[in-house]
Amino acid sequence: MIQFDNVTKTYPGGATAVDGLDLRVEDGELFVFLGPNGAGKTTSIKLCATLLQPTSGRVLVDGLDVTVDSLEARTRIGYLPENPFLYEGLSARQMLSFVGEVRSLEGGASAATDA
């Protein structure tokens, strides 16, 4: 489950990217952010992925507050940025295995290398 409770993100300089977002995505549901550039889609995803901190409100992943339990929350989500960073010389399979090992994931990392 992913939940945003009255989440606002304001950047230095005063630009508000997300303003009072209330959202709940249940396990097994598919949710898509659609909107024009500057609507807060990427900021919302980065808040959920613990790459940004909300200015106010809270984001929960499986009941974990991503600000308080960011390390544990990261083990429950995956994030692929628009311009992914890949270490030179690693195949996609090796990159998945590496990330799985860094995050101490069970099953998922080894499954990626067995395919």
Amino acid in position 34: L
Encoding tokens for residue 5?
A: 């409770």
CATH (one of 3.40.50.300, 2.60.40.1150, 3.40.640.10, 3.20.20.70) for 2-83: 3.40.50.300
Q: Give burial (CB, 10 Å; 0-12/13-18/19+) of 84.
A: exposed
Chain segment 13-58, per-residue pLDDT in tens: 999 999 999 999 999 999 999 999 989 999 999 999 999 999 999 9
| Residue recorded with tokens 């990392």 | 109
Q: In the chain, where are the structural domains located?
A: 2-83, 85-115
Chain segment 71-82, per-residue pLDDT in tens: 899 888 878 777
| d(C-alpha 24, C-alpha 5), whole Å | 8
- This prediction has a pTM of 0.75
